[in-house]
């Protein structure tokens, strides 16, 4: 039941995201299907070829590459994966042929001053495991393919052939489940690129934390355990994690972030709306809907609910300590009630965008990538006067 609700939520989120992306300054980029996947078996849940959208760089950015993972949750059992395989999150047959590129993917300097002329790629998400799965067997009754890791490798190999093998600068980023993927694949991204390439990784709303829900249950850990088992993900997790703890624990960034070699940036809302709705207060922990209004709008929370949410923020910051204090590890942790901020122009760079110390997300990420300044920004706790005009919930 929990998985079904999460699946419906994520498809709704994807549709709404596409609508919200259509803002001033957008460009529309056509889809590219990965060719000759039969030999590698790098296919979506339904067996269709994986896909991505590539907007070529120009000028001084012609040898710079931004590879961005699409987000969209996970599927944890055959039923939820079958449902997903009939949607854009599991089949390239269902994907839009054109996607608007906005925020960090925009090709307009005014809206994306540091990355506008890079080669910008959005990898479509059609495997349901944050690109970690690799199961050879295919059940003929369902025809489900669990091949996320192979999709990742197939797309990167194609991009290398298309010029990324000459990359001067490269950044791997992603939103939500894609933000988790950018953490889990950061080391392999660097390893696949030419020696000497300046490689960094950015996780947007992908720092999911391992906490009990309001009923005291470990719902998210159980959910991650089912994902890892179904998709055969454990072989693609870092040995430094799986040798110490249960495989599902290695789906939480706090347990895998320390051995990451390239510089890493964590962008997240301390009151991540998805995590509050689905980790802290999943429907199963609130059968009477006591949290309904609060989960819809943090300003409608009761004093006791707000106290619980402030406690979640403290647990989030505690989990974030695993990132360490190296200047190469940047972070921007605002106090918005939101989820994903790089893909949306309103939260990336626009008048009224979220700021910390008058610094926008776009400036913080640019300063960190180009080593203009160390970036370690954590906003204060939410209050009724907090302003987050353009939040994507």
Q: Which residues touch 277 (CB under 8 Å, ≥6 apart)?
A: 295
d(CA 68, CA 64): 13
Q: Is 339 a catalytic residue?
A: yes
Residue of 46, 272, 286, 334 marked catalytic: 272
Q: Is 127 a catalytic residue?
A: no
Rg (CA), the chain: 20
d(CA 154, CA 158): 6
Residue of 68, 339, 379, 392 marked catalytic: 339
Nearest of 51, 44, 13, 46 to residue 30 by alpha carbon: 51
Residue of 102, 176, 182, 338 marked catalytic: 176
Q: What amino acid positions are annotated as catalytic residues?
A: 176, 272, 339
């Amino acid at each position: 039941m929990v998985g079904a609700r999460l699946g419906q939520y994520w498809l709704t989120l994807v549709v709404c995201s596409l609508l919200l992306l259509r803002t001033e300054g957008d460009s529309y980029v056509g889809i590219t299907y990965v060719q000759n996947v039969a030999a590698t078996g790098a296919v979506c849940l339904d067996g269709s070829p994986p896909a991505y959208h590539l907007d070529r760089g120009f000028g001084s950015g012609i040898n710079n590459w931004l590879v961005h993972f699409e987000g969209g949750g996970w599927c944890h059992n055959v039923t939820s994966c079958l449902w997903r395989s009939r949607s854009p999150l599991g089949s390239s047959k269902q994907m839009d042929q054109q996607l608007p590129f906005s925020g960090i993917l925009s090709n307009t300097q005014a809206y994306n001053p540091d990355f506008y002329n890079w080669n910008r790629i959005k990898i479509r998400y059609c495997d349901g495991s944050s690109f970690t799965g690799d199961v050879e067997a295919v059940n003929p009754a369902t025809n489900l393919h669990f091949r996320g890791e192979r999709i990742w490798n197939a797309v990167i190999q194609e991009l290398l052939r298309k010029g990324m093998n000459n990359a001067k600068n490269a950044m791997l980023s992603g939103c939500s489940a894609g933000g988790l993927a950018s953490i889990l694949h950061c080391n392999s991204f660097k390893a696949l690129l030419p020696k000497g390439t300046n490689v960094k990784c950015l996780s947007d709303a992908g720092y999911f934390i391992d906490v009990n829900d309001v009923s005291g249950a470990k719902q998210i850990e159980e959910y991650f355990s089912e994902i890892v088992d179904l998709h055969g993900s454990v072989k693609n997790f870092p040995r430094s994690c799986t040798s110490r703890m249960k495989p599902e624990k290695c789906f939480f960034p706090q347990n895998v972030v320390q051995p990451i070699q390239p510089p890493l940036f964590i962008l997240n809302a301390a009151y991540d709306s998805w995590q509050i709705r689905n980790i802290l207060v999943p429907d199963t922990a609130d059968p009477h809907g006591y949290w309904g209004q609060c989960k819809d709008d943090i300003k409608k929370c009761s004093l006791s609910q707000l106290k619980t949410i402030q406690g979640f923020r403290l647990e989030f910051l505690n989990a974030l300590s695993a990132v360490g204090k190296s200047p190469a590890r940047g972070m921007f942790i605002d106090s918005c009630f939101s989820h994903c901020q790089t893909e949306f122009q309103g939260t990336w760079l626009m008048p009224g965008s979220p700021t910390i110390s008058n610094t926008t997300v776009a400036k913080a990420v640019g300063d960190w990538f180009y080593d203009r300044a160390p970036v370690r920004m954590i906003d204060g706790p939410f209050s009724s006067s907090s302003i987050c005009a353009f939040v994507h919930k």
